[in-house]
Amino acid sequence: MKRITILFSICLLLFASLEVCAQTPAPAPTPPQGVQPADEDAVVRITTNLIQVDAVVTDSKGRIVTSLKPEDFELLVNGKPQTITNFSLVTTEAAAVEQPVATADRSRDKNVPPVPAARIRPEQVKRTIALVVDDLTMAFCNVYYVRKSLKKFVDEQMQPGDLVAIVRVGNGIGALQQFTSDKQQLYAAIENIKYNMIVGRRCTFDPLGSESGSGRGSNLAEPGQIMVDSAEVAKIQEDLLVSSSLATINYVVRGMRGLPGRKAVMLLSEGFVRFDKGNSDRSRRIREAIERLVDSSNRSGVVLYAMDVRGLVTLGLNAEDDINPAPSAMGVANPTPASLIARSMSPAQIQNSLQARRNLILDTQDGMRYIAEQTGGLAFYDNNDISAGIKKALDDQKTYYLLGFQPDSSTFDQTQARFNHLTVKVKAPGLKVRYRSGFFGIKDEQASTVAKTPQQQLMRALTSPFASDDISLRLTPIFGNDARAGSYVRSLVHISTKGLTFTEKPGGMREAVINIVAYTFGDNGIVTNSVGATHTITLSEQLYKRALTSGLVYSLNVPIKKAGPYQLRVAVRDDKSEKVGSASQFINIPDLKKNSLTLSGIALTGFDAKDVKAMTAAAGSEASNAETSGMLTQAALRRFRAGQILQYAYAIYNAKTGKGGSAPQLTTQIKLYRDGKEIFAGQQTSYDAKGQQDLTRLVAEGSLQLGGLQEGEYVLQIIVTDLGASGKNRTTTNWIDFEIVK
C-alpha cells in the first residue's frame, strides 16, 4: 500500500541524522478607605501604595483558626502600629480526586507508561512547590530516605493544580525551568538525587576513633597529637557549604516570584549553624545571607519549610564508635601496650565528643528553624518520617490570612535601604500567629523587569513553566541514533497559522516573518543545546489556504552527547504582531553504549480506512508531496479521530544478532492505555528484518484501528522482546501519548 511506503520513508527521514545550523507590571492603585479584600492573586505585594503579607493562625493544638476579623490583629512595622486596610481569608485546598491507577502501579513497575501530563495554565495552579534537596551536606545513609519520601510525594500527595520542582542544591541553576506538573519528569529528577562524594560521611556522624576524623564535629583532636587543625578546616568548609545552600535557595525563591498559586519551598537538609560564637565575621555573613533570603521569600510570596532528614538521631555511643582506636587511626608506628592504653579515650574525652554531637544537632536544627520562622513556615525535626513532614507542610498551605496596609514614606527611603521588621500579633489569648519577618525598602516595580526586545520576549516564553498561547504550538520530540553522528532528537514543531500575521505580496503571495528558538535543558536546568533563527515564510495562495487549516511544521535536529533526562523547549514569535507561543516536552535519552536493547522515539500518523483505495490509486509527485506534508503534520500534532487507522513507526537498537551475523529474533507487541488503565493489548508478533540495511538499527512499523474510542488522552506502548538475549536485555519498551478529537 502506498501509504505504508510513504510512512516508511518518513521513518528513514526521522531516524537519520541531519545538520542544524544555529542563527543567529503597573503600580498598584491607591486603595480606597476602609478595610478592603486583599489581592489573593499576589500573596505578597510591596509597593508605595500597598504592602500585603500573609499570616497563619493556629490554636494551642496546632489547628488552623479561620474565624478572625481585621480587628483581631495588630500589625507593626519597625515597632510602629499600622492600620489594616486590606483583609482576606484565603483557602487553597483542592477537591479530592481519585488518583489514576498508573500512579500507584508505576511505583512498582517502571515499564507501566505514565499518565500524560495535563497541560496546566496559570489560572489552574493551586500550589507551587519547590522541594530543595541540600545534597551538599547530606550523608550517604540519608539519601535513600529522601528519594523514597519524594517518590511518595509524587505518587500520593501531589494533586492536580500542583506545579512542582525538585531541585538539588549542588545543581540549582535553572530552577525555574524545572517547575512542572509532569510526574514523569519529577520521577527522573528524583532518580538523579545521588550521594555527593565531597561530603565524605556514610551517616550523620563519623564514628569515634575513625580515620576520617571529626566528620562534622563528632570527634575531638586528642592532646599532643600532630595533625592538621581539622576543626578550623571543617568550619571553613561548613561556611562555604552554608553560603552555597542559602544562595541556591534564594535563587529558587526569586525564580518563583512570577509564578501563581500558594508558593512553598520545602528544604530537605541536615541543617546549618547560623551563629558562630568564635567568628563574628562568619556570623555576620550568614545573617546577611539569611536576610536576603527572607526578603526574597517575602517579596516572592514564598513560605519556607525546613525538614531535618537525619530523623531521630542517637546522641550517645553506638556500635560503630571505638573509644580504643586502632594504631592506624592514632598515627602511631609500632605501638606498645602502654601507648595503646594511653591513647584510649578518657571518660572526659568521650563526654566532650558526645556533647559536641548534641551541640551540632541543636545548632543545625536552629538554623533550619530560624529561616522557616522568618518566612512564616515550620521546621520539622526529630522524626524519622520525612513524608509526614511534607504532609504537614502541605496542610499548612491550605488556609491563611492576607493583611494589607499603606506604608509611610520612610519605608522606601533610598538613603537608608534598611530591612523593615514586620510584627503581627493576635489579640485573642491562646492563639499563635506565624508571619513573614520583614522586607527591604525596595519597591516591587524596581525589582521587576519587563520583556521588551524580541530576545527577551522569547527567553521569557522559554523559561516560563507555562506554555504561551498567543501562537499555538505542539512539540513532538523523537529520539534517534545515527551510526556516525550518534544520538540526537528530531523535534517536529507544529505552528498554528492563526497567530501569525501574513502580508500580501505581488503575484498573490503571502509572507510572514517568525523568530524561532529551541533550547535543550539538562536535568539540572542548564542549557545543553540551543538553536535560533529568523525565517521568512512565503506561500502561494494555494499553500496559504492549506496552511490556514493544517498549520506549518518546523523540523529541527539537536545532537545529544550525554544520555539522561532532558526538557525540550521551543518558542516562536511573530515579528509583526509580537505574539509569542511556546511548548515544551520531557524526554529521557537512553545510553546506547551499554549495548542494551533500546527503542527510538515513536512517530504517529493516521488515515481513514475509506481513503485507502484512493491513496493507493493516487499517482504523481504532487500528490505524494501533499500526502507526505499531511503525515508530517499529523506526526507533529498527534491528534486523531475515532475510527481512523493509527500508524506508528520506530527504530530498534542493539538487538542481538544470530550466529554468523544472521537477523535478530524479535517479537513486538502494542498496548493502549487511558488514564493509566490498559484498554487494549495486541498479540505478540514476530518481527521480519528482511531488507534492513543495518541490523543494529532496525526500522519497524505497524497500524491499529482506533474504533469506538472516546475523546481524550491516550498512550500507545510498544514492547519488543529479543528472543536471543537474556536477563534485563531481553525486553524493552517505549510509549507516546496522543489525543482523540472530534
Domain count, the chain: 3
Q: Say whether both 603 and 464 belong to one domain.
A: yes
101 in a structural domain: no
Q: Say whether both 195 and 275 belong to one domain.
A: yes
Q: What is the three-class DSSP state of 535?
A: strand
> What pTM, to 2 d.p., does this model score?
0.68
Look up the CATH number of the domain holding residue 75.
2.60.40
137, three cell numbers = 551536606
421 in a structural domain: yes
712 in a structural domain: yes
Q: Say whether both 666 and 686 belong to one domain.
A: yes
What pLDDT was estimated at residue 97?
42
65 confidence band (pLDDT: 50, 70, 90): very high
43 in a structural domain: no
Of 86-95, 387-396, 629-638, the poorest mean pLDDT is in: 86-95
What pLDDT was estimated at residue 140?
86
Q: Say whether both 357 and 287 belong to one domain.
A: yes
**Per-residue pLDDT reduced to its tens digit, 570-608:** 999 999 999 999 988 888 899 998 889 999 999 999 888
The CA distance from 478 to 427, in Å, is 61
- Asked if residue 655 has pLDDT above 90, the reply is yes
Q: Say whether both 426 and 472 belong to one domain.
A: no
Q: Say whether both 144 and 180 belong to one domain.
A: yes
- Asked if residue 555 has pLDDT above 70, the reply is yes
Per-residue CA distances from 27 to 123, 298, 440, 525, 558 (Å): 22, 18, 18, 32, 42
34 in a structural domain: no
The per-residue pLDDT of the chain, averaged, comes to 78
What pLDDT was estimated at residue 740?
93
Q: Say whether both 187 and 308 belong to one domain.
A: yes
Give the residue, 199 or 87, on which the prediction is more confident. 87
What pLDDT was estimated at residue 277?
65
111 in a structural domain: no
Residue 456's CB is within 10 A of a number of other CB atoms, namely 12
Buried b (16+ CB within 10 A) or exposed e, 86-119: bbbbeeeeeeeeeebebbebbeeeeebbbbbbee
Bridge-based pairing of strands 127-133 and 162-168 is: parallel
**Per-residue pLDDT reduced to its tens digit, 352-403:** 888 888 888 888 889 899 989 888 889 999 988 998 999 989 888 888 898 9
Contact 206, 214 (CB under 8 A): yes
Domain end (from 366, 388, 410): 388
Greatest alpha-carbon pair distance for the chain in Å reads: 105
> What does the pLDDT average to over 667-678?
90
- Asked if residue 503 has pLDDT above 60, the reply is yes
Q: Say whether both 201 and 133 belong to one domain.
A: yes
What pLDDT was estimated at residue 203?
78
Domain end (from 342, 362, 388): 388
What pLDDT was estimated at residue 646?
92
Q: What is the three-class DSSP state of 298?
A: helix
Q: Say whether both 415 and 548 belong to one domain.
A: no
Look up the CATH number of the domain holding residue 288.
3.40.50
269 in a structural domain: yes
> What does the pLDDT average to over 161-186?
75
Range of the domain at 407: 48-92+398-442
Q: Say whether both 372 and 430 belong to one domain.
A: no
Q: Say whether both 382 and 410 belong to one domain.
A: no
Fill in the amino acid letter for 215.
G
What pLDDT was estimated at residue 551?
92
Query: Can you list the pairs that 356-361 forms with residues at least 24 positions away whose Cβ atoms lie under 8 Å?
Result: 356/217, 356/218, 356/219, 356/220, 357/205, 357/217, 357/218, 357/315, 358/315, 359/217, 360/216, 360/217, 360/218, 360/273, 361/310, 361/313, 361/315
The CA distance from 723 to 657, in Å, is 10
The CA distance from 672 to 681, in Å, is 7
**Per-residue pLDDT reduced to its tens digit, 408-439:** 777 766 665 567 788 999 999 999 998 877 77
Q: Say whether both 436 and 457 belong to one domain.
A: no
697 in a structural domain: yes
The CA distance from 19 to 12, in Å, is 15
**Per-residue pLDDT reduced to its tens digit, 153-168:** 998 888 888 889 888 8
